Amino acid sequence: MIKVLIYDDVQELRETLELLVSTTEGFEVVGTFDNCETAPTDIAVLQPDIVLMDIDMPGLTGIEGVKNIRVKNQDVKILMLTVFDDNKNVFEAIKAGANGYLLKKTNPTRLIEYLHEVYEGGAPMNASIATQVLKMFASIPSPAGSNFNLSEREKEVLQLLVDGNSYKMVAAEMDISIDTVRSHIRNIYDKLHVNSKSEAVAKALKHKIV
């Protein structure tokens, strides 16, 4: 059972998301909140696998919420679900440690697919968002010789992540176990000083590591 925690200040949308997710086989909604001020504590108590996070909420923004969560928890998957598709919010969300970035107009069926994808280690984004991210990092000059001391094996794993593969797909492609993939990815995160797959992919593109 994949456990989902929802943060959104619009009650109608919050209830719609809860109904959609909780009535989908294999999913359980463990909580819904109209703000993310207590998110680290909520997550420690409710133990979700995935957090669906709005950006524009009273008190703390969703991006600030992600930063607070990542101080305490590096493992929970965080999927931004927002009306904002501007470069600044996308970039800040990824930098904060979000695993994916979706627009609220996302089709319900696709949203469930994206939840599966992020749970499996993917970094889902709407096509328009992914295009922005690629353009954004392509436009940033690459410091010369920045390979962050990644081994050839780690670069191979990183390339597969950049290509959009999930952890399971990386394991199959490289003929290694999921645990070995996770070990490589922990080392990659440590060397790149990042907290999420989407941030690792962004840094790989920015510095042309792979």
Q: Over the stretch 104-139, which tens digit does the pLDDT of each residue have?
A: 888 999 999 999 989 988 888 877 777 767 666 666
Contact 110, 149 (CB under 8 A): no
The Cα–Cα gap between 38 and 147 comes to: 38
Q: Please give the sequence-ordered ranges of beta strands (E in DSSP) within the chain, or none if there are none.
A: 2-7, 27-33, 50-53, 77-82, 100-103
The structure tokens 């929970």 sit at 76
Burial readout 157-177 (b: 16 or more C-beta within 10 A, e: otherwise): bbebbbeebbbebbbeebeee
Contact 21, 29 (CB under 8 A): yes
CATH code matching the domain that covers 2-136, chosen among 3.40.50.2300, 3.40.50.20, 3.40.50.1580, 3.40.50.1010 = 3.40.50.2300
pLDDT, one tens digit per residue, over 164-179 is 888 888 999 999 998 9
- Which stretch, 41-45, 96-100, 133-137, 191-195, has highest mean pLDDT? 41-45
Q: Does 21 have pLDDT greater than 60?
A: yes
CATH code matching the domain that covers 141-206, chosen among 1.10.10.10, 2.30.33.40, 3.30.565.10, 3.30.365.10 = 1.10.10.10
Q: Provide the sign of the torsion angle of the four alpha carbons 8, 164, 166, 66, taken in this order.
A: negative
pTM score of the predicted model: 0.69
